[in-house]
């Protein structure tokens, strides 16, 4: 399958929320001293809502999914045997209700349940890599593949690293998927670019993977990477071999290219986020049934998003889908207050229907949007 990003971008459309969902629920996360949420948190939704704050020495926060009430912190940050250093990026296993963290020991992964009880730990292996100093690379915990196996993406930051993905378990490496592509100068010390998050998406008990500078989405198993679909970027894309052009002045991102920075999937659609082109972000989706691609036109708030034609409230940017086919989005209190100030007539009506709006302040915690998707 091909997702034609270039053509769709040049033919953007207004897209309404009601095309995807049957109803929307807003869950304000309780704001008390113990549940403070920082700017730019990572929020994941399963049976519960779990929040990872930015910064160090901060434990994960657990909230009730139905009403947003704060339940507790998950475990403790520390050097003890039943404590952790900081959560990994994909920290919440929604199927098992486990959380994955890094310990203080080198290459140590620690696993806890939602009460904070320590379950087990293991050391992540190293791999041989001639292009880096010392000839070895430590692998990071990227995500979980199943109950026993984990996945690490190896960023080709030198331009010549020969490994793409590593599948490993608590005891050993299961599979190494090689990287055959190179970029940059033969003098590897001249190759510099920022690091970007790699897209791992999970749907219907399958794991999929896409590199930031590769156009293909792969199905990941313990035995193979199977190509699933291709993003056709046209003149807006940047080839793997030319990826150093993304940062003409190191530390600054070029605005001449699209990067797909997030991918999420439900039973009918694959949503994706295009970032950095002219310093804007665009939301797009692929209809798996009709094989069509759409980029959402910018709203009056200058965001590419789904127009809320159901409540007349803020546009929605999908950030994730649960295995129960729920669309998840997050609204910051400052963005909500700004919208209310600029939409007085709508705001007065909504304050009657959504009483939580009357208690909202700039220091309130975020509001989680949970919308039930159509089948």
Using a 10 angstrom Cβ sphere, with 0-12 exposed, 13-18 middle and 19 or more buried, the burial of residue 272 is: buried
- Give the model confidence (pLDDT) of 268-306 as tens digits: 999 999 999 998 999 999 999 999 999 999 887 778 999
What mean pLDDT comes out for the span 259-266? 94
Q: Which of 276, 354, 364, 268 is nearest to 318 (CA)?
A: 268
pLDDT higher than threshold 80 for residue 334? yes
What the block records as the tokens of 145 is 């593949």
DSSP secondary structure letters along 127-193: EE-TTSTTSEEEPP--EE-SSS-EEEE----SS---EEEEEE-SSSEEEEEE-----S-SSGGG---
Strand partners, 25: 370
What mean pLDDT comes out for the span 180-202? 90
Global pTM reads 0.93
The CATH number of 2-373 is which of 3.40.50.720, 1.10.260.40, 2.120.10.30, 3.60.21.10? 2.120.10.30
User: Which letter, b or e, does each residue of 40-69 get, where b requires 16 or more Cβ atoms within 10 Å of its Cβ?
Assistant: ebebbbbebbbbbbeeeebbbbbbebeebe
pLDDT of 194 reads 87
Residue, of 92 and 189, whose pLDDT is higher: 92
pLDDT band at 6; cut points 50, 70, 90: very high
What mean pLDDT comes out for the span 38-45? 94
DSSP secondary structure letters along 341-359: HH-HHHHHHHHHH-GGGGG
pLDDT band at 171; cut points 50, 70, 90: confident
∠ Cα 257 300 357 (to 5°): 115
Contact by Cβ (8 Å): 101, 86: yes
pLDDT band at 249; cut points 50, 70, 90: confident
Query: Domain ranges in the chain?
Result: 2-373
Torsion 195-278-209-99 (CA) sign: positive
- Give the model confidence (pLDDT) of 152-167 as tens digits: 999 999 999 999 999 9
What mean pLDDT comes out for the span 348-352? 94
């Amino acid at each position: 399958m091909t997702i034609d990003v270039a053509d769709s971008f040049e033919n953007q459309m207004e897209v309404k929320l009601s095309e995807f969902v049957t109803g929307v629920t807003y869950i304000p996360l309780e704001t008390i001293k113990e549940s403070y949420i920082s700017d730019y948190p990572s929020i994941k939704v399963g049976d519960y809502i779990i929040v990872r704050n930015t910064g160090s020495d901060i434990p994960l926060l657990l909230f009730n999914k139905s009403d947003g009430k704060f339940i507790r912190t998950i475990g403790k940050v520390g050097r003890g045997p039943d404590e952790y250093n900081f959560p990994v990026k994909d920290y919440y296993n929604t199927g098992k209700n486990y959380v994955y963290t890094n310990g203080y020991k080198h290459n140590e992964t620690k696993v806890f349940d939602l009460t904070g009880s320590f379950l087990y730990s293991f050391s992540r292996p190293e791999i041989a890599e001639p292009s880096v100093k010392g000839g070895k690379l430590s692998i990071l915990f990227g995500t979980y593949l199943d109950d026993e196996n984990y996945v690490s993406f190896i960023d080709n930051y030198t331009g010549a690293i020969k490994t793409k993905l590593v599948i490993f378990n608590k005891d050993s490496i299961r599979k190494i998927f090689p990287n055959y592509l190179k970029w940059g100068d033969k003098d590897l010390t001249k190759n510099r670019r920022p690091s970007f998050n790699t897209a791992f998406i999970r749907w219907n008990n399958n794991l999929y993977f896409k590199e930031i500078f590769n156009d293909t989405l792969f199905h990941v198993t313990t035995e193979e990477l199977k190509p699933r679909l291709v993003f056709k970027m046209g003149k807006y894309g940047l080839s793997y071999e030319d990826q150093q052009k993304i940062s003409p002045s190191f530390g600054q991102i070029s605005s001449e290219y699209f990067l797909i920075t997030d991918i999420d999937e439900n039973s009918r659609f694959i949503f994706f986020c295009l970032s950095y082109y002219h310093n804007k972000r665009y939301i797009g989706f692929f209809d798996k049934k009709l094989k069509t691609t759409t980029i959402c036109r910018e709203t009056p708030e200058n965001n590419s998003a789904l127009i809320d034609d159901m409540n007349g409230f803020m546009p929605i940017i999908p950030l994730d889908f649960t295995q129960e086919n729920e669309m998840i989005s997050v609204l910051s209190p400052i963005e909500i207050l700004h919208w209310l100030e600029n939409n007085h007539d709508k705001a007065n009506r909504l304050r009657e229907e959504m009483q939580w709006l009357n208690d909202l302040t700039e220091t309130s915690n975020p509001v989680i949007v949970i919308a039930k998707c159509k089948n």
